[in-house]
Amino acid sequence: MRRRGGPIALALMLAACGGRGQAPPSASVPVPTIAPPATPTDVIGTRVWLVVFRTANDPFDLNADTQTLLARVGGAIRVSPVLCFDGLPAAMAPTDYLMGVAAPTKGELQRLIARSGFRALFEVKVTELCID
């Protein structure tokens, strides 16, 4: 698979991160599954515990697992560009997407991991930079 890069890819990533003001997708182009919209109490810059279960260069590659995870953890799910989080391991490619779960406390994160049925790649405390 060819890696995407350059200013256009960065602009697309930032637009995906914000989630607002985008034109409706074309009917002929499938849209990746995303988490439900954030509640009004969600704030950009919030510190949360994040567990990452999957990463992919193409968000469509996360669709099947996203549906399963959403059914198990509801609004705690995160399917976002890596650029939407500050504090992720440096080895993560800035053009990648992640699928995981976020919680305000480590204890709540552990309960969500148990409900998820997925094996964690890693857990980390991050700052969320994007809300949908």
Question: Is 93's pLDDT higher than 70?
Answer: yes
Residue 27 lies in a domain: no
Residue 1 lies in a domain: no
At residue 39 the predicted structure's pLDDT band, cuts being 50, 70 and 90, is very low
Pairing relationship of beta strands 47-56 and 97-103 according to DSSP bridges: antiparallel
104: domain range?
6-22+32-128
Choose between 26 and 73: higher pLDDT. 73
**pLDDT digit string, tens, across residues 99-129:** 999 999 999 999 999 999 999 999 999 999 9
**pLDDT digit string, tens, across residues 5-38:** 443 333 334 344 443 333 334 444 444 444 444 4
SS3 at position 12 = helix
Confidence (pLDDT) at 1: 38
Q: Which residues contact 89 (CB under 8 A, 6 or more apart)?
A: 122, 124
Residue 79 φ then ψ, to 5°: -130, 100
Question: Is 44's pLDDT higher than 90?
Answer: no
- Domain count of the fold of the chain: 1
